[in-house]
Every structure is written in structure tokens, then in C-alpha cells.
Amino acid sequence: MTVAPLPKASRRGLAQEAADLIREAIFTGHFPPGAQLREVELAASLGVSRGSVREGLALLEREGLVHSVWHRGTTVVDVTAQDVEEVYTLRAALDRLAATSAQRNATADQLTELDTLVRAMAQEISGDASGATLLALDIAFHDRIYDAANNRRLVEAWRAVRSQIYLFQLRRIALGHEHYRARVVDEHRELVTLLRADDRETLARRAEEHVDSARCSLLAGLSPSM
Amino acid sequence: MTVAPLPKASRRGLAQEAADLIREAIFTGHFPPGAQLREVELAASLGVSRGSVREGLALLEREGLVHSVWHRGTTVVDVTAQDVEEVYTLRAALDRLAATSAQRNATADQLTELDTLVRAMAQEISGDASGATLLALDIAFHDRIYDAANNRRLVEAWRAVRSQIYLFQLRRIALGHEHYRARVVDEHRELVTLLRADDRETLARRAEEHVDSARCSLLAGLSPSM
DNA sequence: TCAATGTCGAATGTCAACATTAGGACATGA
DNA sequence: TCATGTCCTAATGTTGACATTCGACATTGA
């Protein structure tokens, strides 16, 4: 028998590796919105070939983090009010479907995991945590819901907005996140409760409203800087 | 002033060209579901480098038409009942959002174009048209709605399922499309009417039901062959 | 006979050199 | 001064050769 169920036995190739590194650099602000991502520069700094960087950038474009046009290179997406509007409107539709699908398909274990995450959030709130870890828990929570929905295409669509959500929210908690902290735990706890109930219509509506609340909160904190 | 708004002034590069050719080959059945797409083979037959083919295949993977795993190549997606279920469930959610967004944002011209498309459908029905042109009109109709929704991310998400929808439906009309012909025109005409009205809830529900109807019709015609 | 292992072929992953393109600097003309 | 056309440069697009990996078959040993 094998010694242990390794976290990830699958090899990923240099393109994914490069994509991970570049994504991280974007999140940390090393590449601000609108910045150009030059292939030669990245290839040199990451120690891989231009081909791999190129493929990695294509992956990031799939996630909506960068945008590239022919013979004009790729740039980090910029965060305008319209962009926020677009991403969150789409996410509301996706979350609605994910929630209702998860309501039918989720196993007891998966629901328990959601409980655990909500508890972790509550603990973070009482502690002195930076908003970043709280945000990570928030995203992880929704990741689990999408997993439970049991629809690979839906997960793919979620991946196409997930990174942008993360980027937007990161930018926001840098400006203060009191309003965010105050609501997160309660809203997520309510979602778990509704997932366990069998009122599909209410769940669908609340899932959309949950995203709307996040959007409004984001726009309120972001608009002065735009 | 410029002489005319050219249909496509943008150069696209070999990768897109290759992707178009391969996509067409998949639609015509030259590569049946499950078939392996070997890079060297394609590169030779298309007269371009392997790198371009590789990039083109990545584009097709974004559209959900092919699937590729590390060091094991890329294959055409196969059409199981679960796949149909996944794609159409996601599409229902997207169409719902597209319809309600279009209801708010569509210009009069865009609505008129929808009318034109519906009339073209009706004309095809009375003629001896193959189902293929009818299907093309169907897809074009929904393309316009997504355009009218005025949300680039939503259009991207639509592109990720559009080709699969087309593939599924093509496979279906090969087996006979009486049921399809009987309903298409009326259903689309109703959608345009609802887009012009201001009852958002009814439009949202009917948009979902329109997709559901297509899904059921597809599963009914397809299941014996699976 | 069967299972574990070594070897082989064919495909993909990676790389560095070459070709092409967009955008700006400069000079020229009305 | 403005418009236009021509270079030039820095980046991307493209290519063919090289390295790596997977699956299958043959081989070996119990």
C-alpha cells in the first residue's frame, strides 16, 4: 500500500508553476493593475523559457487576471467600477446555481466542513488577524460550495472569476475592513443553515444577496480611489 | 472618416486560425468525441508549427471542446449524459442573467435584430432547410442577447459553453429534429416579447425554462445512443 | 502462471534562435 | 503648425530541435 495520500500527486509542469508565481506577484502588488507583463523579463526572473511563461500567462488570462492582445502583450487587468459590476453580477448568478446544486448534492461531510470554516472565521474575528486570512477563509468557503455542487463546468466558470474577486477584495481590505468583519460570519452561517434546509427559493435569493452585499461593500470602500 | 466598419479588421495570429480549423473539423465529425488530437499530426496537416497548434488547442480547451492532461495529450470531450446535464444547467444560469441584463441594457436596434433573426428562423422552417442553418440562427440569437447584456465577463463564460452546446445540438439534429423545429420559433419569439416587457421575474423564469426545454429535448434524442 | 521490473517507442513538455509587428521618433512637406 | 511618411526599436509571434514522461510490451524471477 502507499504510505500516505499525498496532497497532490499530480505533476503540473512549468506553465502552472509560472502562473502561480506571477499570480502571487500580482496579489502582493508587485505588478499593479495596468502593468505590462513582459515575457522576456518574466522568463529571466523566473528562470524558465519564454514558452512556459507564455503558456502561464494564457492560464492567468483564463482566470481573468490579465488581458492580452495580439502583438501588444499582456497587462494586468485594471479595476474600474464597471469591472467590479461585471464580475459581481456574474458571480451572483454562479453562486445562485452553486448553492442550489449543493443543496441537492452535498454530503454530510461537506456540510460539516463548511461548519468548520465558519467557526474558523469566528475565531479569526476575535483574534487580531489581518483581513487577508479572513478573506482566504471566505474564498475557501465558497470553493467548498462549488465543489459540492458537483459540476465541473460550473467550477471552471467560478475559476474564471475567483482570482478577480480575490484581487478586488485584497485591494479593499487594505483600506480597512471593519464593515466586512462585522458581517462575514453571520452571512456565511446563514448560508450553511439554508443549505441544510430544503427551501430552494430562499436559498437562491440569499445567495445572490450575499454577493450583492459584498459588491456594495466593495464599491463603497473602493470608489474614492477611482 | 473611415469608409466602413469592417467586419474584422483585427489580425488574429496562427493560433486562432489553427483553433478555428480544428474546431470545424470537430464539428464536421472528422474528430469524433474521445479522439486524440496529436500535435505533430495537426501541425503537419495544418502547415503550422507545433507551438501554434498547442496554443490553438489551449484556446479550444477554454471553450470546453477538448480536454488535456499533462503529458497525456488532448482529446475531444465525450458527450455523456452527465456532460449534457452540467453544460445545460450552467447555461440556464447564464441565460437567466443575460436575459435580465439585456432587458435593462438592450438598445432598440438590438431588439430589432432579434426580431429579424426570429423571422429568419420562421422562414427556414417553412423551407427545406437542414437543421444546421436553423441551429446557427438559434446560436446567433443567443449571441445577440449576450452582447446586449453588456458584460464582457458574462460573454466569456458563454463562450466557454457555446461550442459545447453547438456540438451537442449538431449531434442531435443528425438524428432528426422535428421536435426542435416545432418549438424553436415560438420560444424565441416569446423571449423577445418578454425582453420588451418589464416583468423581470417572468423573463428570468422563461429564460431558464427555454434552456431546460432544449436540454430535455436533447437528452430524449440522445440517450439511446449512449 | 503470475507479478514485478526493465526497456522501448511515441507522444508531449521545454527551450533558444529567427521572423514579424506595433508604436514612437524623426524628418519632410504643405 | 499640422499632417504625413519613413525609419527604428523593443516587444511579441513563430519555428524546429532537444529533453522528459507515459503506456505498453518483453523479460525475469519466484
- What cell was used for A91? 458571480
A70/B10 touch (CB, cutoff 8 Å), yes or no: yes
| The residue to which cell 494564457 is assigned | A58
Q: Which residue of A has its CA nearest to B89?
A: A97
B62: nearest Cα among B165, B170, B171, B161: B161
Interface of A with B in 182-211 (CB under 8 A): none
Q: Read off the pLDDT of residues B177-213 as tens digits, 9 standing for 90 and up.
A: 777 888 889 999 999 999 999 999 999 999 999 999 9
Mutate to test the interface with A, among B14, B89, B153 (most CBs of A within 10 A): B153
pLDDT per residue over B115-137, tens digit each?
Answer: 999 999 999 888 766 788 999 99
CB-CB neighbors (< 8 A) of A152 in chain B: 86
Res B10: pLDDT: 58
Inter-CA distances, B111 with B97, B99, B145, B152, B202, Å: 17, 12, 9, 19, 18
Q: What is the CA radius of gyration of chain A?
A: 19
CATH class of A81-225: mainly alpha
CA-based nearest distance B127→chain A, Å = 37
pLDDT of residue B173: 83
Say whether pLDDT at B100 is over 90: yes
Using alpha carbons, list the distances in angstroms from residue B169 to A96, B62, B133, B140, B179.
26, 19, 12, 14, 13
Q: Which of residues 64-103 of A touch B (CB under 8 A)?
A: 64, 70-71, 86-87, 89-90, 92-94, 96-97, 101
Do residues B67 and B77 make contact, with C-beta atoms less than 8 angstroms apart? yes
Beta carbon of A9 within 7 Å of strand D?
no
Q: Which amino acid is at B48?
A: V
Residue spans in chain A of domains classed CATH 1.20.120.530: 81-225
Q: Say which residue, A207 or A128, is predicted with more confidence.
A: A207
CB contact under 8 A, A64 and B153: yes
What is the nearest CA distance from A51 to chain B, expressed in angstroms?
A: 9
**Contact yes or no for A117/A138 (Cβ under 8 A):** no
B108 touches strand C (CB under 7 A): no
Between CA A46 and CA A51, with CA A48 as vertex, the angle to 5 degrees is: 120
Extended beta strands in B4-100, E state: 36-37, 66-69, 73-76
Whether B59 and B19 have beta carbons less than 8 Å apart is answered as yes
A1 CA vs C3 C1’ separation (Å): 15
> Which nt has its C1' nearest the CA of A52?
C14
CATH number 1.10.20.10 given to B13-76: no
CATH 1.10.10.10 domain locations along chain B? 13-76
Instruction: Please report the pLDDT score of residue A5 as a whole number.
Output: 36
Residue-wise pLDDT for B28-62, tens only, equals: 999 999 999 999 999 999 999 999 999 999 999 99
Q: For residue A33, is pLDDT > 50? A: yes
Please determine, for residue A57, whether its predicted confidence score (pLDDT) is greater than 80: yes
The count of C-alpha atoms lying within 13 angstroms of the C-alpha of A62, restricted to the half-sphere facing its C-beta, is: 21
pLDDT band at B89 (very low <50, low <70, confident <90, very high): very high
Examine the pLDDT at A67 and tell me if it is beyond 80.
yes
- Cβ atoms within 10 Å of A67's Cβ, excluding its own: 14
Instruction: Say how far A15 CA is from D13 C1', in Å.
Output: 18
- What is the least distance, in Å, from the CA of A171 to any CA of chain B? 20
Categorize the per-residue pLDDT at A1 as very low, low, confident or very high, splitting at 50, 70 and 90.
very low
C-alpha cell at A86: 461585471
Q: How many residues does chain A have?
A: 226
For residue B211, which of A97, A195, A147 has the smallest C-alpha distance?
A97
